[in-house]
Amino acid sequence: DTEVTQTPKHLVMGMTNKKSLKCEQHMGHRAMYWYKQKAKKPPELMFVYSYEKLSINESVPSRFSPECPNSSLLNLHLHALQPEDSALYLCASSQGDRASYEQYFGPGTRLTVT
C-alpha cells in the first residue's frame, strides 16, 4: 500500500472555528510532513515529524498546531484562521529524512477560510 489518505477533501470554516485535518499512511514510514500550497506555487513546508520528533518551520503561525498520535497518523489542528490561510494543505510521508528519500503525498485538503 503506497497511499497517503487525507480527510476531509474540502473544508470551509469561519475565522472563529476550530477544525482538524487528518492524515494517515500505512507504509511504515517514519517521517511525516504538513505542507501548505497556494495556487500554481510549490508546497511550503510547515511541520515535520521524524521518528516522532517534531520540527517546526518558525514562520508558521501558532494558529496551526500539529499532532502525531502515532507513527501512522498526523493531524493539523486549526484555530482562529485568517482568509490568507485558504490553500491546499498536503500531507506527505517518507521512509527516512526528506533530503534523500522521496515523499509520498496525499490528495490534499482544500481549505477555505471565510
Partner 1 sequence: AQSVAQPEDQVNVAEGNPLTVKCTYSVSGNPYLFWYVQYPNRGLQFLLKYITGDNLVKGSYGFEAEFNKSQTSFHLKKPSALVSDSALYFCAVGYNNDMRFGAGTRLTVKP
Residues lying near partner 1 in the complex (CB under 8 A): 4, 40-43, 88, 90, 92, 97-100, 102-108, 110
Sheet holding 18-25, edge to edge: 4-7, 18-25, 73-79, 64-70
Quote the least distance from Cβ 41 to partner 1, whole Å.
7
Quote the least distance from Cβ 112 to partner 1, whole Å.
13
User: Most distant CA pair in the chain: distance in Å?
Assistant: 40
Quote the least distance from Cβ 16 to partner 1, whole Å.
28
Residue whose cell numbers read 508546497: 43
Instruction: Compare residues 9 and 18 and give the one whose CB is closer to partner 1.
Output: 9
Read off the C-alpha cell for 42: 510549490
Instruction: Compare residues 15 and 56 and give the one whose CB is closer to partner 1.
Output: 56
